[in-house]
Amino acid sequence: MCGIAGQLSLTKHIKQNFLINNSLSHRGPHNKKFLRLKRNLIFYHTRLKIIDLSDKSNQPMLSDNLRYTIVYNGELYNFKEIKKELENKGYIFKTNGDTEVFLKGFIEYGAN
């Protein structure tokens, strides 16, 4: 199972990615990554590859326009059907996993 975390500080610059090295490393042996969005905001992800085994599905994942970021731990059971719907609307996918479908689905449909 993957590990996800976020770190936010309202008063200071956040230092290194200690969460990945200490708290999350056992949750995802295949990839460890963090993304600093601002000086005081970081998303962390450790990945256990299950559906899409390529590195293209590593997270945190950014949308094509860089507006949205996803750190996701779950399974979108009907992602193949949703992916087809989104492809019919003109979306192009770089991965075969459910995370990119979740991200582009959120962009298209919002929280619904």
Residues catalogued as catalytic: 2
How many helices and strands in the chain, by DSSP H and E?
Answer: 3, 5
Please enumerate in sequence order all residues whose Cβ is within 8 A of that of 74, keeping only pairs 6 or more positions apart, or say none.
Answer: none
Round to whole Å and give the CA distance between 59 and 85: 23
